[in-house]
Structure 1
Amino acid sequence: MEIVERRVLVVEDERAIADAVAVRLRAEGFLVQVVGDGPSAVAAVRQAPPDLMILDVMLPGFDGLEVCRRIQDQRVPVLMLTARDDETDQLVGLAVGADDYMVKPFSMRVLTARVHALLRRADKAAAPAPSPGVRLGDLEINQAERRVLRGGVEVHLTPTEFDLLTHLAGRPRTVVPRERLLSEVWGWADTSGTRTVDSHIKGLRRKLGADLIRTVHGVGYALEVDR
């Protein structure tokens, strides 16, 4: 059986960081392409969409947020890198289509773990859905088409937001701990990134309504809809 190497596009204008990431990923068996500005990133995705993109926010030409906006139709998983641990920046990145983010400086071990987890989630999303969909109150989730409607109106979600909502919908009105969501939705072995969950929950509330998801402080979240 032929083994297909996964392709990762690294978009980073700091050469030392780009080279270090590329070396580590190649050691993990990935094919890696490196570009250093926004226009080159969009052109590379248009020419040959990678299996995953690692994308810095601050770039020459135009920034990583604009890159995300311009490639949304390609559905490429995006791991965004930011120099600032600012929740607003992270929410904006998630809103324009990033699937995950890491704050510089970061551990190469954690970076590669996040890359593998994102690819596993992308593979799972591409697999046939086990059931056609879920209807809970005025919320409809079509798993086969990966579409969501609330009150009959379609709502565009990022791949990660869709996976998170589907996970919560599988156990409505049940509180799911943040650590469990990180493990089962993100596929992370460590549970140190609970703010990632919080940021995606805020994105879901903004798009679907603040009443949909209940917070249990210090524990996790529950989908508040009728069964």
Structure 2
Amino acid sequence: MQNVSILGCGWLGKSLAVSLLNDGYTVKGSTTSEEKLETLEFNNIEPYIIDISSFEEFDSFLNSDILIIAITSKDIDGFENLISQIENSSIQKVIFISSTSVYGRLNKVMTEEDEVLKTPLTEIENLFRENTFFETTIIRFAGLFGDTRHPSNWFKNGRKIPQPKGFVNMIHKEDCIHIIHEIIDQNCWNITFNACSNHHPTRREFYTFAKVSNGLAIPEFEENEVVKWKIISSKKVQEVLGYTFINDNLLSI
């Protein structure tokens, strides 16, 4: 399988597309912005304008072996229409990029076996998981950072940071891309993975480090909240794929 379509060539999707091109894949990429078409072309990504809420036909874009879905839309109707088109396309495998936000803060370590919240995102996950026309692997990424997305830029304008005694669940873009490569290379389908660094400093420790290391003032925190937290376990992705995180110490990056 050498043909990949990436629905959503944004912060993560564009970098993923470039890395797949470097590995010899032919890559189609979508954006919702006319202005970004030139950037995709410049990077040798075959460009498409696609908005799943428009209910247009995406035949040419879906003429691939693998579809990677990297958009933030929660439009259930749009996804149902997209899935019906995938069923009638050459797509055999799908990677759906989800989020660890599907887990509630239950003051415990959360695995893929734990119950998830009832949200549009979990409903969309199930649409893909239950479809038998193609095989889907779902990746629930933790908080994304890397490159231009630096945690020191979050909680600006004197905004106090909540839950300082809670724990951070983060993953670097480089690890996201490598995990997706491993899923494709190892032909690992019909499975759900959490993907998160194994390092979980407190929110106070992490955001203080992020701000100060970037030359900013020590942030303020909401001090009187009832403590609610979760720690995302990535044990499954490490065991099944034999994956070792590249950026596994959040205070040394």
**TM-score, with length taken from structure 2:** 0.39
Q: Per chain length, whose mean CA-contact separation is higher, i.e. which structure has more relative contact order (CA < 8 Å, sep 6+)?
A: 2
Q: Larger C-alpha radius of gyration, 1 or 2?
A: 2
Q: TM-score, normalised by structure 1?
A: 0.43
